[in-house]
Amino acid sequence: MKSRVFGLESEYGLIFAPQGRVYLPMEKILGYIFEGLIPNSWPSNAFLGNGARFYQDTGCHPEYSTPECDNLFDLVVHDKAGERLLESCLPIAEKRLKEEGLPGKIYIYKNNTDSIGNTYGCHENYLLRRDVDFWKVAEQMIPFFVTRQIYAGAGKVLKVSGKCHYFLSQRAQHIHEKSSSSTTSSRSIINTRDEPHADAEKYRRLHIIVGDSNMSEYVTYLKVGTTALVLSLIETGFAVPNMELEDPVKAMREISRDVTLKKRVRLAGGKEMTAIEIQRVYLEKVKEYVTSEDDDDVSVDLLERWEYVLNELEEDPQRLSREIDWVIKKELITSYMEERGCGWDDPRVAMLDLQYHDVNQSRGLYSLLCRQDLVERIATEADIQRALEIPPQTTRAKVRGDFIRFAKEKNRSYTVDWTYLKLNGYWEETILCMDPFSSSNPRVSELIAAAVPHK
């Protein structure tokens, strides 16, 4: 696969269930969660020793940004590490609340909607060369993003016109435009905010806010991997012609509502195609590209999985009840409804929908399926635990992680962002890290070497 840096930003849903009639502002709950991870840290915003960023986002959501990754395996394990990190904060936060006479349970969900219709995102970031025509990339990728939900959607029980339906995607109904610089008021398929967190003369960032948060490692691998391949295809000069949709936002919502995957959406030229058919066009173009330009083991593996998933979706989506979030969850819910004799509008169904995303492994339904070996995995638990401490070793994240560990060991105050590192105090120094592909920095190496006692 072509060398590229990518990452995920996941906002998490947060609920506090007090024992008794107690109201607490969510900011206070979130403060205790951060206290469990970052003592004495306020405002809640910190980079961690594994290179990731953990902070409070708009709407009082805890958000975890993976470190910069340049391979899919690292991305999968660091995305999962975010779940484990938040889970580890729960006992400490609940203990602190109890000590203040405010006992209760805190629930954290890796999903995208709450019970009153608000949405929060899972944002994907792909480093893009500055000399590539951004709008050409955007136009050619919009049909791909609109239809990708057939395997990347997390599934959602949603009430429409007084009746509950099952949707493929949680985010699809909250997208309003083809492109926009906003991530809240006018959510779009392509976000145009130009914030590269790198050398702005060489790079820009493709910021995608249309996707769902995924529990399935298989989906995370496939979602980001196929997107990276399509992006490389277009960057290299290949084209996916005549695929522009007449109304991408409408098509996205129509596809999300159709669990049979038979819905045909209209292209700008008048032709109608299903989401599977559109995805196959991209698949075939990527096959041509990989054969001629980028034939490596990861690309070949992605193509095989992509084609397998499309074939199974066309034959019978339920065949993917080990791989794809929306299918796994739908099977869980329909089995429950058959057993209990209830319908989609039963409150217990809504609870199952939510509980699938619980990061507490003793409660979360996806975690239960993992323990029973009923879902496909990409990583082991040992891989995920390692990612809680160790950054990717082939990107800028390694430099950041090394610097943070050094500063903590020396009990030095420091300030960190994506592109710089700074030791605070009398010998204050700012170290720029503008190249996300660089896993070493001479000045950081000198600092660490100088601190090692000579024998």
Residues tagged active-site: 57
Token readout for 242 is 């005549």
Place of tokens 């010998």: 427
Non-local (6+) Cβ contacts of 210 within 8 A are: 145, 171, 172, 175, 187, 188, 189, 190, 252
Minimal CA–CA distance to 108: which of 52, 6, 32?
A: 32
Q: What region, left, alpha or beta, does residue 345 occupy, with left being phi > 0 and alpha being psi -120 to 50 degrees?
A: alpha
Cβ count within 10 A of residue 421: 25
Question: What is the rounded distance in angstroms from the CA atom of residue 327 to the CA atom of residue 318?
Answer: 6
DSSP annotation of 51: S
Strands 188-191 and 177-180: parallel
Strand order in the sheet with 122-129: 45-47, 53-57, 61-65, 6-11, 122-129, 203-208, 188-191, 177-180
Minimal CA–CA distance to 34: which of 25, 23, 45, 22?
A: 45
* C-beta separation of 141 from 133 below 8 A: no
CA 150, 224, 190, 268 torsion-angle sign: negative
* C-beta separation of 432 from 416 below 8 A: no
Cβ count within 10 A of residue 98: 12
Half-sphere exposure of 211 (CA within 13 A, CB side): 26
Place of tokens 């990728």: 141
Cβ count within 10 A of residue 381: 13
Question: What is the rounded distance in angstroms from the CA atom of residue 26 to the CA atom of residue 61?
Answer: 9
